[in-house]
Amino acid sequence: MSVDEHALGELMEQSADLQAAAMHQSTEALNEMVEVGHDRRRSGDIDPDQDMAAAARRQELMRKSLVGVGTLAAAGFGAAVLGLFDTPAFADSATDVQMLQTAASIEILAVATYQTALTLPFIGGSSANPVVKAFATTTMAQHTQHGQAFNAAAQQLGGKAQSAADPKYAAVVKAAVPSIKGPADVVGLAIKLETVAAETYVADVSAYSDLNARKVTASIMGVEAQHVSILLAVQALLAANAPQLIALPPNLTDLPGAAGSIGFPNAFYQTDMASPASEGALS
Amino acid sequence: MRILRKNTDQMAISETELLALTADMEERHRQTLPKMHAAVAEWVEGEGAAERSRVSRRGFLAGGGIVVVGGALLAACGSSSTKSATMPSGGGSSAPVDVQAGAMAASLENLAVFAYGAGISAATAGKLGTIPPAVVTFATTAKSQHQDHANAWNAIVTGAGYQKVTTTDPALISTVQTDFAQVKDAGGLAKLALTLEDIAAATYLNAIGVLSSKQAISTAATIQPVEMQHAAILNFVLGTYPVPNAFAMTTGARPVTDYSVKK
């Protein structure tokens, strides 16, 4: 394994510094959101019509995202998603808060999943690839911060903090865990969760009525997409029986040509797997 | 172009599998384009039509200068997100902010297409030494995606009755050309590309807080993560941790109103 663990440690330290700077920016956005939330509550300016409009916007966007996916998808998962948007209970609630709570629930599940994965010998133990282990550890920490940011945003808009994992995908993880036999299984599961997170946030960004909720979510969606990107590359190298190439820095000369584009399959990020606002929202 | 092909026997199956995966990805990518076109078409029919009418009555656009280029590439971007979100730094166009942002984005995407194209040409001419095949694939695919992004933004710009943006970002092009002249190998090319991808991602993140129409916001939201994915792979190639921040930043963002779009 061509990994300089000391150098990797230094890189992680630099990454932590950069992350702290990014957190500062996010905190500023959250503080702005706090002020907006306070103002709205003080003035009683939480407008049900505005929330209805936001729900309608998001429903419209989701309908568009389903166009072209195909009749089968529209009649299955897509129809279920649109059905949720049509319920009066959903439309009467603060949609921004719901989206933030659902986002927090996805982050909570991601943290729990990586935490569990790190207890496995081939992810967090002595037989683990150091880069994979470092990635899982750092990514778990980043998801923790994302969850905190979403919950803070929800609370400051008058909602409650979400402390439970997304129920739909918690069931998916629970069902998948017994069949995990090696790193590829974990990576495949992580790709699914990260994709759901990224696509949900991409869809949410154009549906928020609150500008700062939009900004906070936008600052997170690309990071989840980066997680997907690296996981796709790792998955491809594992599938190609070339785990020795999962290294930092990589041995560029040995990487297959196709590895150069495996991490960004689409010119435009998709939203087919976006979760509806109510999926992880508190009632 | 000299492309290394080491361990051919060992990697033969891997290459096949990866190529199959890539073909599948290409198909998925093509499937996303109609959705993007539909979103842009809706913008053109709605707010774009209104803007075309408004512009037609006005009959002219106020011109404006551009930011003076100086120093390194990031320094040339030179604006805080707050400033860029509220204050044009020199564009001065009276076009709607979504059109201005679309033109700015198109010019940035054109710049990326130019940079990757120049890199591929230099590599083909053997000016960058031995180029690993993964780097070639990266550059080719990223260039294609940036062209798709430019097309998407230009559809919004022309749909509103403004001229298609065919030039590269005037504020950055000379700096990029200067920096590119210093590139001697794949690593240097990757560093330059990383800077451009970071600027693009930061610009989109900043724009998302400024844009008004949901179609423009959605367009930016579906592109920003892709630029960040490009950056992640470039960081990996350069031996840097690929996901360095928990939150994307607007540092280095180009002001959305900094391109003087023309009627």
Is there a contact between B250 and A198 if contact means CB atoms under 8 Å apart?
Answer: no
Q: Which residues pair with B3 in a beta bridge?
A: B131
CA distance, residue B58 to nearest chain A CA (Å): 30
- Tell me if A248 and B232 make a contact (CB, 8 A cut-off): no
Whether A35 has a pLDDT exceeding 60, the answer reads no
Q: Cα separations (Å) of A33 from A105, A184, B100? A: 20, 40, 27
**pLDDT above 80: residue B61:** no
Residues of A in contact with B229 (CB under 8 A): 222, 225-226, 228-229, 263-264
CB contacts, 8 Å: A215 with chain B: 208-209
Where residue B94 falls among pLDDT bands split at 50, 70, 90?
confident
Is residue A215 less than 8 Å (CB to CB) from chain B? Answer: yes
Q: Per-residue pLDDT for B42 more than 90? A: no
Distance from CA of A104 to the nearest CA of B (A): 15
Collapsed DSSP state (helix, strand, coil) of residue B131: strand
Task: Tell me how many residue pairs between chain A and chain B have CB atoms under 8 A apart.
Answer: 261
Radius of gyration of the CA atoms of chain B, in A: 19
Q: Which residue has the tokens 């407008």?
A: A47
User: Cβ contact (<8 Å) for A146 and B246?
Assistant: yes
Q: Which residue of A has its CA nearest to B246?
A: A142
The residue count for chain A: 283
B228 chain-A contacts, CB cut-off 8 A? 222-223, 225-226
Q: How far is A190 from chain B (nearest CA, A)?
A: 15
Asked if B18's CB is within 8 angstroms of A256's CB, the reply is: yes
List the single residue in A19, A207, A267 with the smallest CB-CB distance to B29.
Answer: A267
- Taking contacts as CB-CB distances below 8 angstroms, the residues of chain A near B237 are 249-250, 252
Q: Is A25 in CB contact (< 8 Å) with chain B?
A: yes
Secondary structure class of B3 (helix, strand, coil): strand
The answer, yes or no, to whether residue B24 has pLDDT greater than 50, is yes
- Contact: A256, B240; criterion CB under 8 Å: no
The SS3 call for residue B61 is coil
Determine the residue of chain B that is closest to A218 in CA distance: B205
Q: Is the pLDDT of residue B19 over 60?
A: no
Whether B35 has a pLDDT exceeding 70, the answer reads no
User: What ipTM describes this predicted complex?
Assistant: 0.76
Q: For B227-251, what is each residue's pLDDT tens digit?
A: 999 999 999 999 999 999 999 999 9
What is the average pLDDT across A262-277?
Answer: 97
**Which of A76-90, A244-258, B16-30 is most confident?**
A244-258
Chain A contacts of B148, Cβ < 8 Å?
Answer: 267-268
| A260–B33 CB contact, under 8 Å | no
Q: Which tokens sit at A84?
A: 């949720």
How crowded is residue B2: how many other Cβ atoms within 10 Å of its Cβ? 10
pLDDT band per the 50, 70, 90 thresholds, residue A250? very high
- Determine contact, residues B200/B108, Cβ cutoff 8 Å: yes
Under 8 Å between Cβ of B166 and B107:
no
Give yes or no for residue A66 having a pLDDT over 80: no
Q: Which of A54-63, A169-178, A203-212, B215-224 has the lowest mean pLDDT?
A: A54-63
| pLDDT reading at B82 higher than 90 | no
CA distance A182 to chain B (A): 19
Which residues of chain B neighbour A135 with C-beta distances below 8 Å?
243
Q: Please judge whether B232 and A239 are an interchain contact, meaning their C-beta atoms are less than 8 angstroms apart.
A: no
Mean predicted confidence (pLDDT) in A76-89 = 31
Q: What is the mean pLDDT of residues A155-175?
A: 96
Q: Give ∠ CA B125-B127-B132 in degrees, rounded to 5.
A: 90
- Amino acid in the structure at residue B42: E
Average pLDDT estimate for B151-178: 96
Q: List C-alpha distances in Å: B163 to B89, B150, B263.
A: 21, 13, 6
- As a whole number of angstroms, the distance between CA B148 and CA B154 comes to 10
Residues of B in contact with A249 (CB under 8 A): 237-239
Contacts of B254 (CB under 8 A, 6+ apart): B77, B79, B84, B104, B108, B169, B171, B172, B199, B202, B203
Query: Within its chain, how far is the Cα of B184 from the centroid?
Result: 23
Q: Which residues of A touch B214 (CB under 8 A)?
A: 57, 61, 206-207
Residue count of chain B = 263
Q: What is the pTM of this model?
A: 0.75
**Interchain proximity B225–A221, CB inside 8 Å:** yes
* pLDDT (mean) for A246-259: 93
Interchain pair A224, B225: CB under 8 A: yes
pLDDT confidence of residue A27: 52
Residue A132: which residues within 8 A CB-CB, separation 6 or more? Answer: A123, A183, A234, A246
Task: Determine whether the interchain pair B29/A19 forms a contact, defined as Cβ–Cβ distance below 8 Å.
Answer: no
Mean pLDDT of A205-228: 96
Q: Which of B238, B240, B246 sits opposite A223 (nearest CB)?
A: B246
CA atoms within 13 A on the CB side of B15: 15
Pairwise CA distance, residues B254 & B75, whole Å: 10
What is the crossing angle of helices B214-237 and B8-43, to 10°?
160
User: How many angstroms separate the CA atoms of B210 and B202, rounded?
Assistant: 13
**Mean pLDDT, all residues of chain B:** 78
Structure tokens at A235: 């998955």
Task: Determine the Cα–Cα distance for residues B160 and B51; give it in Å rounded to an integer.
Answer: 5
b/e B25-44 (16+ beta carbons within 10 angstroms → b):
beeebeebbebbeebbebbb
The yes-or-no verdict on residue A277 having pLDDT over 80 is: yes
Q: Are B199 and B253 in contact (CB under 8 A)?
A: yes
How many angstroms away from the CA of B72 is the closest CA of chain A? 20
Cα–Cα dist B153/A83, whole Å = 33
Instruction: For chain A, give the secondary structure using H, E and C.
Output: CCCCHHHHHHHHHHHHHHHHHHHHHHHHHHHHHHHHHHHHHHCCCCCHHHHHHHHHHHHHHHHHHHCCCCHHHHHHHHHHHHHHHHCHHHHHCCHHHHHHHHHHHHHHHHHHHHHHHCCCCCCCCCCCCHHHHHHHHHHHHHHHHHHHHHHHHHHHCCCCCCCCCCHHHHHHHHHHHHHCCCHHHHHHHHHHHHHHHHHHHHHHHCCCCCHHHHHHHHHHHHHHHHHHHHHHHHHHHHHCCCHHHCCCCCCHHHCCHHHHCCCCCCCCCCCCCCCCCCCCCCC
Q: Which value, in Å, is the radius of gyration of the alpha carbons in chain A?
A: 20
Q: Do A68 and B19 touch (CB under 8 A)?
A: no
Residues 224-243 (A) with a CB less than 8 A from some CB of B: 224-230, 233, 236-237, 239-242
Asked if the Cβ–Cβ distance from A267 to B32 is below 8 Å, we say yes
- CA-based nearest distance B60→chain A, Å: 31
pLDDT surpassing 70 at residue B262: yes
Distance between alpha carbon A220 and the CA centroid of its chain, in Å? 8
CA gap A49, B148 in Å, rounded? 37
